Amino acid sequence: MNRRVWTLLPLTALLAGCGYSGLYDTPLPGGADLGDHPYRVTAEFADVLDLVPQASVKVNDVPVGRVERIELAADNKTALVHLAVNGSVAVPAEARAELGQSSLLGEKYVQLVAPPNGTGRLADGAVISKERTNRSPEIEEVLGALSLLLNGGNLGQLQSIVRELNSAMTGNEAQIRSFLSSVDSVVGTLDGQRDRIVKAIDAINRLSAAVAAQRDDLATALDHLAPGLQVITQQRDQLTSMLRSLDALSTVAVDTVHKTRADLVADLQQLAPILGKLAETGAKLPIAVQYLATYPFTDYAANAIKGDYFNSDIRFDLDLSGLVRALTAGNQPLIQVPSPVSPPKPVPLPLPSQPVPQRKPGGTLLDLLGSLLGGGR
């Protein structure tokens, strides 16, 4: 008896020193091979159902690891599932963790699902957040939903809907087929414009963010908008009268334009070359207009006007040699000499209407003057 007791005591001490916690520390037969250098990953689940330690960890339904332990997070709402994965298995850093079931009444396991364009790799100590974890529905939940549908649900209404659909589709197969073809074409077009649609949605998102940032200003504007609308309401009669007057004015203006259309078109056609020349001047025209106000001085001369007097310092360049060079540099003469012309033809004198009086012999000087002046003695 004493020998048996002394034999059990060391065995009990050995088990206590190794931290033996039951069958959970015993690997399941046929489990995944962790290799020599496995890495640990922690997955956060909102609900782990009846998942137990030593359950399988799979990638593409192939066991690559096992569940080491399950514990409750500090918030008392999240389950932390610690996974051990074979070091030779590469899993993208954005991988999801889903809780699945091997069969209808089979064991639970953790499935690591890689995204389509996953990058990076899960490292030792990585955490899969709760946003990237999920679980499959339980058979009890499926049966409960089916029972609700069959017993207290809308199965009778579903039968009526199916019957009405059959009645509506009977004899309209061609139209329905054409409609489905159109829907397929529309969906294909939308799929081809997917990048633009995404850009438009992103632009709307940025616009919404900008509007949200200006929420206080918008609220203030809306608060001040009510008095303005009230004033418009008070002046409704005046606004209506103004719009009626504008309508009458537009009628007269349209009639005038129709009647003077030819003249107006001609004026615009004649105005086109002028506008073209103005456009050709470019930036020179504003500068010329700027100098026009202070001609013949530059625009800086306006700075010299102080009240009712004008300060100026004028320098005249009277370099005669420069003036001579400037005057003689051109090809035209300084003084335009008129070209020689032929002398005008003599104009014939008109014949007198009265005969010339005959000079009397022996006349005096007074007689000569009288004959020249048209008189006589």
Do the domain assignments include residue 233? no
* Least confident range of 2-16, 28-42, 147-161, 247-261: 2-16
Predicted confidence (pLDDT) per residue in 213-243, tens digit: 999 998 898 888 888 888 889 999 999 999 9
pLDDT exceeds cutoff 60 at 19:
no
pLDDT for 281 equals 80
Residue 99: exposure state from Cβ atoms within 10 A (0-12, 13-18, ≥19): buried
Q: What pLDDT, on the 0 to 100 scale, is given for residue 324?
A: 73
Q: Are 100 and 56 in contact (CB under 8 A)?
A: no
- Cα atoms in the Cβ-side hemisphere of radius 13 Å centred on 324: 3
- Sign of the Cα torsion 158, 163, 167, 169 reads positive
Of the candidate ranges 68-77, 137-146, 268-277, 317-326, the one whose mean pLDDT is the lowest = 317-326
Number of domains in the chain: 1
Instruction: For residue 136, give every residue at least 6 positions away whose Cβ sits within 8 Å of its Cβ, in sequence order, or none.
Output: 98, 99, 100, 101
Tokens of 203: 């632009």
Within a domain: residue 66? Answer: yes
Sole residue written with tokens 């504003």: 286
CA distance 172 to 357: 132
Q: Output the pLDDT for position 91.
A: 92
* pTM score of the predicted model: 0.38
More confident residue, 3 or 275: 275
pLDDT of 351 reads: 54
Closest CA to 133 of 196, 197, 51, 199: 51
Q: Average of pLDDT values for 311-322? A: 71
Res 133: pLDDT: 94
In sequence order, what are the beta bridge partners of 304?
A: none
Q: Which domain holds residue 128?
A: 39-135
- Kindly state whether residue 51 falls inside one of the protein's structural domains: yes
82 inside domain: yes
DSSP assigned state of 377: -
111 part of a folded domain: yes
Q: In the predicted model, is pLDDT for residue 47 greater than 70?
A: yes
